[in-house]
Amino acid sequence: MKYIGIIPTIIVRRNSIYHIVDHNLIKFIKKCFPKHHLEILIDRKEIKKISLIISTGGNSIVSINKGRANKIRKLMDDYYFTYAYKNNISYLGICHGAQHVAKYFKSQIIKKKNHTKKNHSIFFKSMSGSVKVNSYHDYSIKKLPKKLNTLAYTKDGSIEAFKHKNKKILGVMWHPERYKKFKKFDLNFLKKYL
């Protein structure tokens, strides 16, 4: 059986650390990859059977907010991304996860106004027309290094999806799991690149 590892959102309250995974994300992943078993990654450990690691939304990258939860999340993201990269394991970054991957490769991330809790059109370099997606982020990816290729962008030039040139690493800034009915486009898009 194949496994998918999910890096959860971290919340710190008083002296407690909570690892949170949106139930809709679990349902979305099961719909997209029905033959895989899901494992929530709550500590840094070597995982031999994992074929895909997903870094979820939530949290902020540490360069933007140095809070304790974000520092804990960065340790987890760093560990699992490095593990995936070295072992050729597919990797999906959703929103925060995409920003983490972009930052790892020294991409430019900027503050963006009027980008949170909105729907907007994104345009793909490989197809004509546009697709409407949701947006829940205050920061956008503006520029990528040569190792990453832009797949989708907004009218203002914000990068909404990218992939690594040589590895199965995909970043998306929208949340495909946050729709009441999952979009066929999102399911097909992830399957195509992962």
Give the residue numbers marked as catalytic.
95, 175, 177
DSSP label of 63: T
Beta-ladder partners of 33: none
Helix (H) or strand (E) holding 2: strand 2-7
Nearest C-alpha neighbor of 169 from the set 106, 82, 110: 82
CB 168 within 8 A of CB 178: no
- The residue type at 32: C
Beta-ladder partners of 157: none
Which 3 state secondary structure label does DSSP give 193?
helix
Cα–Cα distance, 97 to 100 (Å, whole number): 5
Provide the pairing of β-strand 139-143 with 16-20: unpaired
